[in-house]
Structure 1
Amino acid sequence: MRGRWRLIGRLVQAAGRGDVVSRHELLSVRGHSVAWAFPLLLLVGIAAADITTGAFEIISWTVLVPGVAAAICGVRATAVFAVVAVVVYVFADTVWQHRDETGLPGLVLVTLGGAIAVVAAAVRVGGEQRMLHMRDIADATRRTVLRPLPVGFGGLDHAAVYLSADTEARVGGDFYDIQPGPHGTRVLVGDVQGKGLGAVDTAAALLGTFRETAYHEPDLATVAERLEIRMRRHRARTAALGRSDGDRFATAVLIGFSDDLPDVVDAVVFGHEPPLAVGPAGVRALPAVGGLPLGMSDLVAGSPVPPVCRPALAADETLLLVSDGVTEARDPGGCFYRHAEEIARAVAADPSNAAPSRLVALVRDGTLRHCRGRLVDDTTVFAVRRRGVPADG
């Protein structure tokens, strides 16, 4: 059963890569397209049925062959099948004498159907090419917002999964990054309110500020303050442009790892789900004082950002951060997914499940299993811990 949901997870990710790419992958064997086999088998089947069924004039069904080809093959292949369908029809109508001829109306039907199929294939292929171009643009955007992280980046083992609730989308408002620097390694995970390009724009603005300040600023509180200021500036700009998303905000968790403090981390929580510390000893919520989301500090007087907390974190504990796609996942009965409980059972059964890569896969599969693969929000699962922990730890 668990393997089934891993398969669903891969299918969801494949859908996120685009329907065109997924269809081409399904219709390929060892990198070679076999889409032509389906209309060919249909044509052979129709011809065979017409030969063996003398009382039923099924040869006119060859009009379906170029139609099927138009749906899955290229323009040239569709044109070839359109011509072959006409040839087979004429041959069957004039050579096979086991029934009366269907005459000119049937020939016009097959010829016209083939011509329409070729035009339909040309329109479809043109649309797919435009979609693939837009996919390339979206990929470039994703690499900017969710840039690839090298193995062991900043002295941390990490793993991440991002699943879009919209299978046509490739990026959303969820974001994460790791930034090493002279003052330690900082981690940022967050979720911008709302969807669409506005959410992507906001996430990119926050990540740009994080990558600069996390490297240069020695105090994590200053990094947090700069993120808050950047969010307010971004909101002011979008509002001045007259955009409807000028009141957008973001929840986030900012974590600081320091080589001088190997048993603790610094944490700032901006209205986000508190991180979980997962290790062989069990699962616990990281004790950190939460505050308002980014962009909402003007609603209260006093400190503009939440305080920096310094909770203990053992060397063999992994920090797990998830977005609303996990915490708000529901089953058909409306019950929320309790990922902490499932993680606790998995780690108790096998402590190696606390490793970032296994932990992320566990939460991803559990979320998809709980909601039956129907995500209602973009889903991010991010796990990180200090390097040097044994693989079975």
Structure 2
Amino acid sequence: MTEMEFGRRRRPLLRIRGAGVAWLLPLLLLVGIVLLDFATGEEFRIVTWIVLVPGIAAAVCGVWTTAAYGVLSVVTYVLVDSAWPNQYQAGFGDFLLVALGGALATLAAVVRVRQERQVGHMRDIAETTRRTVLRPLPPRWAGLDHAGVYLAADVDARVGGDFYDIQPGPHGARVLVGDVQGKGLGAVEVAAALLGTFREAGYHERDLGTVAERLETRMRRHRAHMAALGRDEGDRFATAVLIAFPDGTADAIDVTNFGHEPPLAVGPRGVRELPSGDGLPLGLGDLAGGPPPVHRVRLAADETLLLVTDGVTEARDEPGEFYELAREVSRAVRADPRHTEPRRLVRRVRDGVLRHSGGRLDDDTTIFAVRRLPDDGEEPGAGDAVRADGVTGPRVPATDDLGTGRARRE
């Protein structure tokens, strides 16, 4: 069952080989109470404990199953209690307790299932929003092999202000990775606005500097629009890295950095840092007189660009030490040069961050890797797919599968 189906169907809490078996728990409890009541004798009657059965059902079963257990508990109580001599019977008072317990348990199940449906509906909305902002990227998109993963610090919300995208166009492929300051729906709105502008300008504009100017203008216009609506969010800004893979240039890229974490070029010969954020974040360009400059940077055919948000570089372990991204990636590449492949690289960083932070992320985290596809027709992205673990990129053998990469709730 996909997460989009969560709000439409209640997912069984307990399963055996895919089948829901939550109903077994209250049944076993019912049988155990009956047997124990007869085993303890008349001196110690526990048949009244049968009121726990619909209570347990309300926690793990559906409404109708809980109601059925409420009725079954009442019937079982009457049969078991009637089997004892009159002087040892629990009586009508305990019967009312069992009946009332079943009714209240059914009511509790109604409330729980209704809340589950509401949470599922909210998750559907969050998932739809995430896919609108972070649209799924086709495999081998724009001549690039890519992989990306987004981890929300709030695993229930599943959406935040981090964003990334690839836009092909007549002037080459463009890549944008960024992080909006702040959290909540306001940050999501900014991310959606910037991505919309990037998808249009990245396609039509020949010069990467013009695309950067369009992004800066869009950020300021969005802030002005929010202020006019009475939702003044202050000087909200966004850090970002804008990259162009020019057509006809196989060994270089153009980079504009809006105060973002510097990209890493990861190759068999090691890891090197590209130009750092020498410009101000988007929305603050008027303080510097314009967007940051465009740098032409050498990028070998076997090198992969690794771009992350500060959820990676600011991830802390229990003693408070930061995650050393470049060091850990260098160590991984030395151990196995195949970690330069986008999917393996993203997966390695994701697992490293979650392991380093103990699964507790303080900020939304985006990890994105991209490199040119070779010209020899053997495309490393062949068989790419959007997988259930949230990583897009080339499939790997089943023995190398990781499962999910979400942050823990604790």
- Normalization by structure 2: what TM-score? 0.87
Q: 1:22 to 1:172 in 2, by over 3 A?
A: farther
- How far the C-alpha of 1:34 sits from its partner, in A, is 1.8
Q: 1:99 to 1:158 in 2, by over 3 A?
A: farther
- Rounded to whole Å, the distance in 1 between the matches of 2:141 and 2:39 is 68
Could you tell me which residue of structure 1 aligns to residue 35 of structure 2?
48
Q: How does 1:208-223 map to 2 (within 5 A)?
A: 208-223=196-211
Asked whether 1:273 is paired with 2:257, we answer: no
SS of the counterpart of 1:321? strand
What amino acid sits opposite 1:46 in the alignment? I
Q: How does 1:303-382 map to 2 (within 5 A)?
A: 304-382=290-368
- Rounded to whole Å, the distance in 2 between the matches of 1:215 and 1:80 is 61
- Rounded to whole Å, the distance in 2 between the matches of 1:354 and 1:49 is 63
- How far the C-alpha of 1:170 sits from its partner, in A, is 1.9
- How far the C-alpha of 1:343 sits from its partner, in A, is 1.0
Q: 1:285 to 1:82 in 2, by over 3 A?
A: same
Contact persistence 1:352–1:391 (CA under 8 A): no
- How far the C-alpha of 1:60 sits from its partner, in A, is 1.5
Q: How does 1:219-230 map to 2 (within 5 A)?
A: 219-230=207-218
Could you tell me which residue of structure 1 aligns to residue 369 of structure 2?
383
SS of the counterpart of 2:298? coil
- How far the C-alpha of 1:308 sits from its partner, in A, is 0.4
SS of the counterpart of 2:88? coil
Could you tell me which residue of structure 1 aligns to residue 79 of structure 2?
91
- Per mean C-alpha deviation after superposition, the further-off stretch among 332-341 and 54-63 is 54-63
Could you tell me which residue of structure 1 aligns to residue 123 of structure 2?
135
SS of the counterpart of 1:267? strand
Q: Which of 277, 280, 289 is residue 292 of structure 1 equivalent to?
A: 280
Q: Which of 182, 207, 215 is residue 170 of structure 2 equivalent to?
A: 182
Asked whether 1:82 is paired with 2:74, we answer: no
Could you tell me which residue of structure 2 aligns to residue 168 of structure 1?
156
Q: Where does structure 1 differ by over 3 angstroms across 4 or more consecutive aligned residues? A: 16-23, 28-32, 96-99, 389-392
- Rounded to whole Å, the distance in 1 between the matches of 2:320 and 2:6 is 29
Task: Choose between structure 1 and 2: higher helix proportion.
Answer: 1
What amino acid sits opposite 1:279 in the alignment? G
Asked whether 1:108 is paired with 2:96, we answer: yes
Q: How does 1:62-73 map to 2 (within 5 A)?
A: 62-73=50-61
Q: 1:225 to 1:281 in 2, by over 3 A?
A: same
- Per mean C-alpha deviation after superposition, the further-off stretch among 80-89 and 23-32 is 23-32
- How far the C-alpha of 1:98 sits from its partner, in A, is 12
Q: Which of 90, 93, 111 is residue 123 of structure 1 equivalent to?
A: 111
Q: Which of 16, 20, 42 is residue 33 of structure 1 equivalent to?
A: 20
Q: 1:385 to 1:25 in 2, by over 3 A?
A: farther
CA RMSD between the two structures: 2.3
- Rounded to whole Å, the distance in 2 between the matches of 1:56 and 1:268 is 79
- How far the C-alpha of 1:62 sits from its partner, in A, is 1.4
**5+ long unaligned stretches in structure 2:** 382-410
- Rounded to whole Å, the distance in 2 between the matches of 1:157 and 1:130 is 38
- Rounded to whole Å, the distance in 1 between the matches of 2:86 and 2:365 is 62
SS of the counterpart of 2:168? strand
Residues 236-271 of structure 1: CA deviation (Å, up to 9, x unaligned)? 111222214242110101110123111011111111
Asked whether 1:147 is paired with 2:138, we answer: no
SS of the counterpart of 1:368? helix
Contact persistence 2:50–2:77 (CA under 8 A): yes
- Rounded to whole Å, the distance in 1 between the matches of 2:71 and 2:214 is 66
Asked whether 1:205 is paired with 2:193, we answer: yes
- Rounded to whole Å, the distance in 1 between the matches of 2:356 and 2:100 is 50
Contact persistence 1:322–1:380 (CA under 8 A): yes
- Rounded to whole Å, the distance in 1 between the matches of 2:46 and 2:9 is 34
What amino acid sits opposite 1:36 in the alignment? W
SS of the counterpart of 1:136? helix
